[in-house]
Amino acid sequence: MTAMELHLEPATVLEKPAADSDAALIAAAISGAEPAFRELFRRHTPHLLQFVSRVLGASRADAEDVVQDTWLRAYPALVTFRNESSFSTWLCSVGLRAALDSMRRGKRHIADTLFDEDTHAEPPRTEDRMDLEKAIGCLAPGYRMVLVLHDVEGFTHEEIALQLGIAPGTSKAQLFKARRVMRALLTGRENIDVQ
Amino acid sequence: MYNDDEIELTLAERAALASLPREMETGDMLEARVVRALRDKGHFGEPPVRRRGSLQVMWRIAAALALFAGGVATGRYILAADVPESASISARASNDRNARDTTPRTETRPVRQNETVVAEREMWL
């Protein structure tokens, strides 16, 4: 044992938990260790912020509000996390609920018809091609949410249905429409033709 | 109605979706904001207090059990030391009781010291 190792104190180890697994950090955070929580935050918030931002299609400030709300919900619920999925996936599902609630608070009429089969999104009238990120942002909220969850995050229709409280068939229908509109936006076609 | 073939992504679309950034840079301000909000809700630092509280409860339970066991041991010791005397007292008390059995039950009478000792002995043995 070297002299350096002898001088290691628990506090020093706690300040550098980067090598710890998520499970160890979660356990420490549950017991009230702030450094462990901060490490967990630094590890998972960049993805959470990107996910929430994409789902909301809103400004960074709005996305950060939802991220804060997500952590405020997630921290007390850490004891319920059972390692059945990755922590990132679990956190995104909490973030999705926070985003939905945010949309309901802000624009109730939109949230109420979010997954209505008859809801159609009209692309902006433009002849210009859009980049993919911008095209996703232009989609109607219901379309955008399903497209991001399925095509970007890799959720299945069953998982999306469970998360959003809709039927798997509705998720498929929303994805179909979302992709159709997205293609139109990317190719700069004004008239959307399914065929 | 919605055929899987119709909504299948092209290779180019898949590649474009896969190349989308997965992370967005977060500033220190967001972290500080979230930690402060959690502190305001009293989350950090609570568990050690809870542990101290539960330790106190455990000590109290242990002390109560020790007191109870001490009481039982003392009672047994006192009764064991009084056995010959209390046995004779018991015989006399039994005779007295038989003699008094003729009196009406509703009549009140003072409790005698001997009867109390017998009752205690029966309780412990």
**Cα(A109)–Cα(B78) distance, rounded to whole angstroms?**
82
Q: Identity (one letter) of the amino acid at B110?
A: P
CB A167 within 8 A of CB A161: yes
The whole-number pLDDT of residue B84 equals: 60
The whole-number pLDDT of residue A25 equals: 93
Least Cα separation, residue B56 to chain A (angstroms): 19
Q: Which of A64, A152, A176 sits opposite B20 (nearest CB)?
A: A152
**Cα(A155)–Cα(A2) distance, rounded to whole angstroms?**
49
pLDDT tens, position by position, B9-50: 889 889 999 999 999 998 889 999 999 999 998 888 655 445
The whole-number pLDDT of residue A27 equals: 92
CB pair distance less than 8 Å for B34 and A179: no
Alpha-carbon distance values, B105 to A142, B74, B102, B109 (Å): 87, 35, 9, 10
Alpha-carbon distance values, A32 to A28, A105, A180, B68 (Å): 7, 31, 48, 37
The whole-number pLDDT of residue A13 equals: 42
Residue with tokens 């047994």: B76
CB A174 within 8 A of CB A146: yes
The whole-number pLDDT of residue B56 equals: 84
The whole-number pLDDT of residue B80 equals: 84
Instruction: Give this prediction's pTM.
Output: 0.63
Q: Residue A154, by phi and psi: left (phi above 0), alpha (psi -120 to 50) or beta?
A: left
Please report how the helices A60-77 and A34-56 are oriented relative to each other, as an axis angle in degrees rounded to 10.
Answer: 130
The whole-number pLDDT of residue A72 equals: 96
The whole-number pLDDT of residue A83 equals: 81
What ipTM was estimated for this complex? 0.75
CB A36 within 8 A of CB B52: no
A50 touches chain B (CB under 8 A): yes
A173 touches chain B (CB under 8 A): yes
Q: Would you say residue B77 has pLDDT above 50?
A: yes
Q: Which of B1, B24, B44 sits opposite A34 (nearest CB)?
A: B44
- Quick one: tokens of A76? 């007390």
The whole-number pLDDT of residue B96 equals: 67
Q: What is the pLDDT along chain A (195 residues), one digit of tens a residue?
A: 444 443 434 444 444 555 688 999 999 999 999 999 999 999 999 999 999 999 998 788 999 999 999 999 999 999 999 888 899 999 999 999 999 999 888 764 444 455 554 444 555 554 455 689 989 999 999 999 999 999 999 999 999 999 999 999 999 999 999 999 999 888 876 544 433
Listed in sequence order, the residues at least 6 apart from B13 whose beta carbon sits closer than 8 Å to its beta carbon are A183, A186
Q: Which of B20, B23, B48 sits opposite A133 (nearest CB)?
A: B20
The whole-number pLDDT of residue A177 equals: 92
Q: Residue A129, by phi and psi: left (phi above 0), alpha (psi -120 to 50) or beta?
A: beta
- More confident of the two residues B17 and B1: B17
* B chain contacts of residue A72, beta-carbon cutoff 8 Å: 34, 37-38, 41
CB A96 within 8 A of CB A49: no
